[in-house]
A = this chain, B = another copy of it.
Amino acid sequence: MLTDEIELIDQHCHGIVAADLNRPEFEALLGEGRRGSFESALGLAVRRWCAPVLGLPAHAPAEEYLARRGELGWREVSARLLRAAEVSRWLVDTGFGFDPAFAELCGGEVAEIVRIESVAERVIAEYGLTAAVFDEIERALRDSARGAAGLKTIAAYRCGLDFPAHGVPPAASAVSGSRLTDPRVLSWLVGLAARISAETGLPLQFHTGFGDTDLRLRRADPLLLTDFLRATEDTGATVVLLHCWPFHRNAAYLANVFGHVHLDLGLTIPHVGHRASAVLAEALELAPFARLGYSSDGCGLAELHYLGARLWRRGLGQVLDEWIADDAITVADAEQLVAAVGAGNAARLYPGATPRFGHRPDSSDRPLR
Protein backbone atom coordinates (compact mmCIF):
# COMPACT_ATOMS: atom_id res chain seq x y z
CA MET A 1 0.00 0.00 0.00
CA LEU A 2 1.08 3.50 -0.93
CA THR A 3 1.12 4.63 2.68
CA ASP A 4 2.97 1.74 4.33
CA GLU A 5 6.27 3.52 4.46
CA ILE A 6 5.36 7.17 4.82
CA GLU A 7 6.73 9.27 7.61
CA LEU A 8 4.20 10.41 10.20
CA ILE A 9 4.28 13.37 12.53
CA ASP A 10 1.69 13.03 15.29
CA GLN A 11 0.72 16.65 15.79
CA HIS A 12 -1.44 16.08 18.84
CA CYS A 13 -1.32 13.39 21.47
CA HIS A 14 -1.08 12.94 25.22
CA GLY A 15 1.06 10.78 27.43
CA ILE A 16 0.44 7.25 28.66
CA VAL A 17 -0.54 5.82 32.01
CA ALA A 18 2.70 4.48 33.49
CA ALA A 19 1.06 1.60 35.33
CA ASP A 20 -0.38 -1.85 34.74
CA LEU A 21 -4.14 -1.86 34.27
CA ASN A 22 -6.94 -4.29 35.03
CA ARG A 23 -9.84 -4.74 32.59
CA PRO A 24 -12.13 -2.01 33.97
CA GLU A 25 -9.23 0.43 34.03
CA PHE A 26 -8.22 -0.51 30.50
CA GLU A 27 -11.77 -0.29 29.12
CA ALA A 28 -12.35 3.03 30.85
CA LEU A 29 -9.37 4.45 28.94
CA LEU A 30 -10.65 2.88 25.73
CA GLY A 31 -13.74 5.10 25.76
CA GLU A 32 -14.16 8.83 25.62
CA GLY A 33 -16.96 8.57 28.15
CA ARG A 34 -14.74 6.57 30.51
CA ARG A 35 -17.11 3.72 29.65
CA GLY A 36 -15.25 2.20 26.75
CA SER A 37 -15.69 -1.41 25.79
CA PHE A 38 -14.03 -4.03 23.65
CA GLU A 39 -17.45 -4.41 22.02
CA SER A 40 -16.92 -1.50 19.68
CA ALA A 41 -15.15 -0.57 16.47
CA LEU A 42 -12.19 0.54 18.57
CA GLY A 43 -12.19 -2.70 20.56
CA LEU A 44 -12.14 -4.73 17.35
CA ALA A 45 -9.22 -2.64 16.11
CA VAL A 46 -7.25 -3.23 19.31
CA ARG A 47 -7.70 -6.98 18.94
CA ARG A 48 -6.97 -6.92 15.20
CA TRP A 49 -3.94 -4.66 15.14
CA CYS A 50 -2.44 -4.40 18.60
CA ALA A 51 -2.54 -8.09 19.49
CA PRO A 52 0.13 -9.01 16.91
CA VAL A 53 2.39 -6.26 18.23
CA LEU A 54 2.25 -8.03 21.59
CA GLY A 55 3.02 -11.36 19.95
CA LEU A 56 -0.56 -12.67 19.90
CA PRO A 57 -2.57 -13.76 16.89
CA ALA A 58 -4.70 -11.07 15.26
CA HIS A 59 -8.18 -10.93 16.84
CA ALA A 60 -7.05 -12.50 20.11
CA PRO A 61 -9.92 -12.34 22.62
CA ALA A 62 -10.00 -9.42 25.02
CA GLU A 63 -9.09 -11.54 28.03
CA GLU A 64 -6.05 -12.99 26.31
CA TYR A 65 -5.03 -9.57 25.18
CA LEU A 66 -5.20 -8.16 28.68
CA ALA A 67 -3.44 -11.17 30.15
CA ARG A 68 -0.61 -10.74 27.67
CA ARG A 69 -0.51 -7.04 28.44
CA GLY A 70 -0.14 -7.83 32.15
CA GLU A 71 2.55 -10.41 31.42
CA LEU A 72 4.67 -8.02 29.41
CA GLY A 73 4.08 -5.06 31.72
CA TRP A 74 3.03 -1.56 30.73
CA ARG A 75 6.55 -0.43 29.91
CA GLU A 76 7.27 -3.15 27.38
CA VAL A 77 3.75 -2.96 25.92
CA SER A 78 3.96 0.80 25.51
CA ALA A 79 7.42 0.65 23.99
CA ARG A 80 6.31 -1.93 21.45
CA LEU A 81 3.17 -0.09 20.45
CA LEU A 82 4.71 3.38 20.32
CA ARG A 83 7.63 2.17 18.25
CA ALA A 84 5.32 0.18 15.96
CA ALA A 85 3.52 3.46 15.21
CA GLU A 86 6.72 4.56 13.42
CA VAL A 87 6.09 8.19 14.21
CA SER A 88 9.10 10.43 13.75
CA ARG A 89 7.86 13.28 15.91
CA TRP A 90 5.26 13.48 18.67
CA LEU A 91 3.72 16.77 19.71
CA VAL A 92 2.38 16.20 23.20
CA ASP A 93 -0.32 18.17 24.99
CA THR A 94 0.97 18.14 28.55
CA GLY A 95 -2.10 19.87 29.91
CA PHE A 96 -3.18 17.15 32.28
CA GLY A 97 0.03 15.52 33.22
CA PHE A 98 2.79 13.78 31.35
CA ASP A 99 4.97 10.88 32.42
CA PRO A 100 8.51 11.20 31.11
CA ALA A 101 8.43 7.47 30.33
CA PHE A 102 6.66 8.39 27.09
CA ALA A 103 9.69 10.24 25.77
CA GLU A 104 11.93 7.31 26.66
CA LEU A 105 9.73 4.71 25.00
CA CYS A 106 8.29 6.37 21.93
CA GLY A 107 11.21 6.11 19.55
CA GLY A 108 10.90 9.60 18.12
CA GLU A 109 11.39 13.24 18.94
CA VAL A 110 8.99 14.75 21.43
CA ALA A 111 7.92 18.37 21.61
CA GLU A 112 5.32 20.15 23.65
CA ILE A 113 1.92 21.61 22.88
CA VAL A 114 0.99 24.11 25.59
CA ARG A 115 -2.60 23.96 26.79
CA ILE A 116 -3.50 27.58 27.38
CA GLU A 117 -6.21 26.90 29.96
CA SER A 118 -3.76 24.98 32.15
CA VAL A 119 -1.30 27.85 32.09
CA ALA A 120 -4.00 30.38 32.96
CA GLU A 121 -5.36 28.26 35.79
CA ARG A 122 -1.91 27.78 37.25
CA VAL A 123 -1.39 31.53 37.30
CA ILE A 124 -4.79 32.17 38.87
CA ALA A 125 -4.10 29.54 41.54
CA GLU A 126 -0.82 31.28 42.34
CA TYR A 127 -1.78 34.95 42.09
CA GLY A 128 -5.43 34.93 43.01
CA LEU A 129 -7.91 37.28 41.43
CA THR A 130 -5.89 40.43 41.56
CA ALA A 131 -6.24 43.06 38.87
CA ALA A 132 -2.85 42.04 37.55
CA VAL A 133 -3.74 38.44 36.90
CA PHE A 134 -4.32 38.89 33.17
CA ASP A 135 -0.90 40.42 32.71
CA GLU A 136 0.58 37.52 34.63
CA ILE A 137 -1.29 35.02 32.47
CA GLU A 138 0.03 36.68 29.35
CA ARG A 139 3.56 36.61 30.71
CA ALA A 140 3.26 32.94 31.67
CA LEU A 141 1.77 32.00 28.33
CA ARG A 142 4.47 33.77 26.39
CA ASP A 143 7.02 32.08 28.58
CA SER A 144 5.48 28.64 28.06
CA ALA A 145 5.30 29.23 24.33
CA ARG A 146 9.07 29.57 24.11
CA GLY A 147 10.40 26.22 22.96
CA ALA A 148 6.93 24.76 22.49
CA ALA A 149 5.68 23.41 19.17
CA GLY A 150 2.23 24.93 19.46
CA LEU A 151 -0.63 26.13 21.64
CA LYS A 152 -3.92 24.40 22.29
CA THR A 153 -7.27 25.43 23.64
CA ILE A 154 -10.04 23.33 25.12
CA ALA A 155 -12.57 26.15 25.02
CA ALA A 156 -14.93 23.62 23.39
CA TYR A 157 -15.08 21.84 26.75
CA ARG A 158 -15.21 24.86 28.93
CA CYS A 159 -17.79 27.10 27.31
CA GLY A 160 -18.29 25.91 23.76
CA LEU A 161 -16.84 27.30 20.55
CA ASP A 162 -19.54 29.96 20.42
CA PHE A 163 -17.59 32.13 22.82
CA PRO A 164 -18.11 35.86 22.38
CA ALA A 165 -15.76 38.04 20.34
CA HIS A 166 -13.48 39.96 22.74
CA GLY A 167 -10.28 41.87 22.58
CA VAL A 168 -9.72 43.14 26.10
CA PRO A 169 -9.27 41.25 29.35
CA PRO A 170 -12.51 41.11 31.36
CA ALA A 171 -12.63 42.51 34.88
CA ALA A 172 -10.73 40.18 37.17
CA SER A 173 -13.85 39.71 39.21
CA ALA A 174 -15.29 37.71 36.34
CA VAL A 175 -12.98 34.86 37.24
CA SER A 176 -14.33 32.64 39.98
CA GLY A 177 -12.70 29.46 41.12
CA SER A 178 -9.59 27.99 39.56
CA ARG A 179 -11.32 26.21 36.70
CA LEU A 180 -11.85 28.55 33.79
CA THR A 181 -15.32 28.30 32.35
CA ASP A 182 -16.31 31.94 31.90
CA PRO A 183 -16.84 32.53 28.17
CA ARG A 184 -15.50 36.10 28.38
CA VAL A 185 -12.27 35.03 30.03
CA LEU A 186 -11.85 32.14 27.64
CA SER A 187 -12.54 34.41 24.71
CA TRP A 188 -9.85 36.79 25.93
CA LEU A 189 -7.46 33.90 26.45
CA VAL A 190 -8.07 32.44 22.99
CA GLY A 191 -7.64 35.91 21.50
CA LEU A 192 -4.33 36.25 23.32
CA ALA A 193 -3.23 32.86 22.03
CA ALA A 194 -4.15 33.90 18.49
CA ARG A 195 -1.98 37.01 18.87
CA ILE A 196 0.92 34.91 20.13
CA SER A 197 0.38 32.58 17.18
CA ALA A 198 0.56 35.53 14.81
CA GLU A 199 3.72 36.86 16.45
CA THR A 200 5.61 33.60 16.89
CA GLY A 201 4.28 31.38 14.13
CA LEU A 202 3.17 28.75 16.65
CA PRO A 203 -0.09 27.14 15.50
CA LEU A 204 -3.09 27.36 17.79
CA GLN A 205 -4.89 24.01 18.04
CA PHE A 206 -8.60 23.80 18.92
CA HIS A 207 -10.33 20.77 20.31
CA THR A 208 -13.40 20.38 18.07
CA GLY A 209 -15.84 17.54 17.65
CA PHE A 210 -16.29 14.56 19.89
CA GLY A 211 -14.69 13.99 23.24
CA ASP A 212 -15.82 12.85 26.65
CA THR A 213 -19.06 13.49 28.55
CA ASP A 214 -17.88 16.86 29.83
CA LEU A 215 -18.51 18.11 26.32
CA ARG A 216 -21.68 19.42 24.77
CA LEU A 217 -20.96 18.16 21.28
CA ARG A 218 -23.19 20.71 19.58
CA ARG A 219 -21.00 23.46 20.97
CA ALA A 220 -17.88 21.81 19.60
CA ASP A 221 -18.86 22.28 15.96
CA PRO A 222 -15.94 24.10 14.33
CA LEU A 223 -18.41 26.18 12.30
CA LEU A 224 -19.00 28.10 15.53
CA LEU A 225 -15.51 29.50 15.01
CA THR A 226 -16.45 31.20 11.74
CA ASP A 227 -16.35 34.75 13.11
CA PHE A 228 -13.14 34.07 14.99
CA LEU A 229 -11.56 32.70 11.83
CA ARG A 230 -12.70 35.68 9.81
CA ALA A 231 -11.18 38.00 12.42
CA THR A 232 -7.85 36.18 12.51
CA GLU A 233 -7.58 35.37 8.81
CA ASP A 234 -5.15 38.09 7.91
CA THR A 235 -3.28 38.44 11.17
CA GLY A 236 -0.65 35.78 10.58
CA ALA A 237 -2.21 33.42 13.13
CA THR A 238 -2.51 29.74 12.22
CA VAL A 239 -5.37 27.57 13.45
CA VAL A 240 -5.53 23.77 13.60
CA LEU A 241 -8.91 22.08 14.05
CA LEU A 242 -8.38 18.79 15.87
CA HIS A 243 -10.55 15.62 15.69
CA CYS A 244 -13.64 17.29 14.16
CA TRP A 245 -15.88 14.20 13.84
CA PRO A 246 -18.85 14.24 13.24
CA PHE A 247 -18.25 17.77 11.93
CA HIS A 248 -15.25 16.84 9.77
CA ARG A 249 -16.96 18.05 6.60
CA ASN A 250 -17.57 21.40 8.29
CA ALA A 251 -13.91 21.56 9.28
CA ALA A 252 -12.82 20.73 5.73
CA TYR A 253 -15.02 23.55 4.46
CA LEU A 254 -13.38 26.00 6.86
CA ALA A 255 -9.94 24.93 5.69
CA ASN A 256 -11.13 25.34 2.12
CA VAL A 257 -12.26 28.93 2.53
CA PHE A 258 -9.84 30.24 5.19
CA GLY A 259 -6.19 30.12 4.23
CA HIS A 260 -4.91 29.90 7.82
CA VAL A 261 -7.00 26.89 8.84
CA HIS A 262 -5.63 23.34 9.03
CA LEU A 263 -7.37 20.20 10.27
CA ASP A 264 -6.82 16.62 11.28
CA LEU A 265 -9.11 13.79 12.36
CA GLY A 266 -7.34 13.04 15.64
CA LEU A 267 -9.03 10.52 17.87
CA THR A 268 -11.65 9.84 15.22
CA ILE A 269 -9.32 7.46 13.41
CA PRO A 270 -8.65 4.97 16.23
CA HIS A 271 -12.25 5.19 17.43
CA VAL A 272 -13.98 4.42 14.14
CA GLY A 273 -11.59 1.55 13.43
CA HIS A 274 -12.29 -0.03 10.07
CA ARG A 275 -14.23 3.08 9.01
CA ALA A 276 -11.12 5.24 8.98
CA SER A 277 -10.98 5.30 5.19
CA ALA A 278 -14.64 6.31 4.90
CA VAL A 279 -14.20 9.24 7.27
CA LEU A 280 -10.98 10.31 5.61
CA ALA A 281 -12.68 10.26 2.22
CA GLU A 282 -15.34 12.64 3.55
CA ALA A 283 -12.72 15.01 4.90
CA LEU A 284 -10.88 14.96 1.56
CA GLU A 285 -13.94 16.26 -0.28
CA LEU A 286 -13.16 19.86 0.54
CA ALA A 287 -9.96 19.87 2.60
CA PRO A 288 -7.00 21.41 0.74
CA PHE A 289 -4.32 18.73 0.65
CA ALA A 290 -1.74 21.16 1.99
CA ARG A 291 -3.71 21.77 5.17
CA LEU A 292 -4.72 18.29 6.30
CA GLY A 293 -2.52 16.67 8.93
CA TYR A 294 -2.24 13.63 11.13
CA SER A 295 -2.69 13.14 14.85
CA SER A 296 -3.73 10.26 17.07
CA ASP A 297 -4.87 12.17 20.14
CA GLY A 298 -3.60 9.02 21.86
CA CYS A 299 -4.17 9.33 25.59
CA GLY A 300 -3.43 6.95 28.42
CA LEU A 301 -3.13 3.78 26.33
CA ALA A 302 -0.31 3.40 23.82
CA GLU A 303 -2.81 1.32 21.83
CA LEU A 304 -4.43 4.61 20.79
CA HIS A 305 -1.16 6.13 19.62
CA TYR A 306 -0.45 3.02 17.61
CA LEU A 307 -3.93 2.57 16.14
CA GLY A 308 -4.04 6.21 15.12
CA ALA A 309 -0.95 5.68 13.01
CA ARG A 310 -1.84 2.20 11.78
CA LEU A 311 -5.39 3.02 10.74
CA TRP A 312 -4.46 6.40 9.26
CA ARG A 313 -1.83 4.80 7.05
CA ARG A 314 -4.24 2.06 6.07
CA GLY A 315 -7.31 4.26 5.64
CA LEU A 316 -5.51 6.87 3.57
CA GLY A 317 -3.90 4.14 1.54
CA GLN A 318 -7.31 2.61 0.80
CA VAL A 319 -8.74 5.95 -0.31
CA LEU A 320 -5.83 6.61 -2.64
CA ASP A 321 -5.68 3.09 -3.99
CA GLU A 322 -9.30 3.53 -5.01
CA TRP A 323 -8.60 6.93 -6.56
CA ILE A 324 -5.67 5.50 -8.49
CA ALA A 325 -7.70 2.51 -9.63
CA ASP A 326 -10.41 4.87 -10.89
CA ASP A 327 -7.82 7.07 -12.62
CA ALA A 328 -8.74 10.06 -10.46
CA ILE A 329 -5.11 10.71 -9.51
CA THR A 330 -1.70 9.58 -10.70
CA VAL A 331 0.55 7.46 -8.53
CA ALA A 332 3.08 10.29 -8.39
CA ASP A 333 0.48 12.79 -7.22
CA ALA A 334 -0.88 10.31 -4.70
CA GLU A 335 2.60 9.81 -3.30
CA GLN A 336 3.00 13.56 -2.90
CA LEU A 337 -0.39 13.81 -1.25
CA VAL A 338 0.26 11.13 1.37
CA ALA A 339 3.72 12.49 2.10
CA ALA A 340 2.21 15.92 2.67
CA VAL A 341 -0.63 14.88 4.96
CA GLY A 342 1.52 12.36 6.83
CA ALA A 343 4.38 14.66 7.68
CA GLY A 344 5.19 17.34 5.12
CA ASN A 345 2.43 19.72 6.09
CA ALA A 346 3.19 19.30 9.80
CA ALA A 347 6.91 19.80 9.24
CA ARG A 348 6.17 23.19 7.72
CA LEU A 349 3.59 24.01 10.37
CA TYR A 350 5.67 23.16 13.45
CA PRO A 351 9.19 23.96 12.31
CA GLY A 352 11.42 24.08 15.35
CA ALA A 353 10.54 23.37 18.94
CA THR A 354 12.72 22.39 21.84
CA PRO A 355 11.47 19.62 24.06
CA ARG A 356 11.21 20.94 27.64
CA PHE A 357 9.64 18.45 29.93
CA GLY A 358 11.02 19.89 33.10
CA HIS A 359 7.75 21.83 33.13
CA ARG A 360 5.42 20.69 35.91
CA PRO A 361 2.06 19.70 34.56
CA ASP A 362 -0.90 20.85 36.63
CA SER A 363 -1.93 17.53 38.08
CA SER A 364 -5.02 18.99 39.74
CA ASP A 365 -6.60 19.49 36.33
CA ARG A 366 -9.12 16.88 35.29
CA PRO A 367 -8.05 14.62 32.45
CA LEU A 368 -9.80 16.43 29.64
CA ARG A 369 -8.68 16.74 26.09
Contact = CB atoms under 8 A, between A and B. Distances in A.
Interface of A: 31-33, 35, 37, 39-41, 44-45, 48, 58-59, 210, 212-213, 216-218, 221, 223-224, 226-227, 230, 233, 245-246, 249-250, 253, 256-259, 271-275, 278-279, 281-282, 284-290, 323, 326-330, 333, 337, 340
Contacts of A35: 256-259
- Copies of this chain held together in the complex: 3
A230 B271 CA distance: 22
A271 B285 contact: yes
B271 A286 contact: yes
Nearest to A334: B44
A272 B257 contact: no
For the complex of A and B, the 10 pairs showing the least CB-CB separation, nearest first, are A33-B257, A274-B328, A246-B249, A272-B285, A39-B289, A35-B259, A218-B223, A213-B257, A275-B285, A59-B330
B41 A284 contact: yes
A226 B230 contact: no
15 contacts: A32-B256, A35-B257, A35-B258, A37-B288, A37-B290, A40-B256, A40-B288, A44-B333, A48-B329, A59-B333, A210-B286, A213-B257, A217-B226, A273-B328, A275-B284
A288 B27 CA distance: 12
B281 A278 contact: yes
A212 B272 contact: no
Contacts of A216: 223, 226-227
A39 B338 CA distance: 12
A58 B324 CA distance: 13
A191 to B, nearest CB: 19
A11 B127 CA distance: 57
Contacts of A273: 285, 328
A286 B328 contact: no
Nearest to A336: B39
A114 to B, nearest CB: 27
* Most chain B CB neighbours (cut-off 10 Å) among A58, A224, A274, A327: A274
A8 B352 CA distance: 53
A328 B275 CA distance: 10
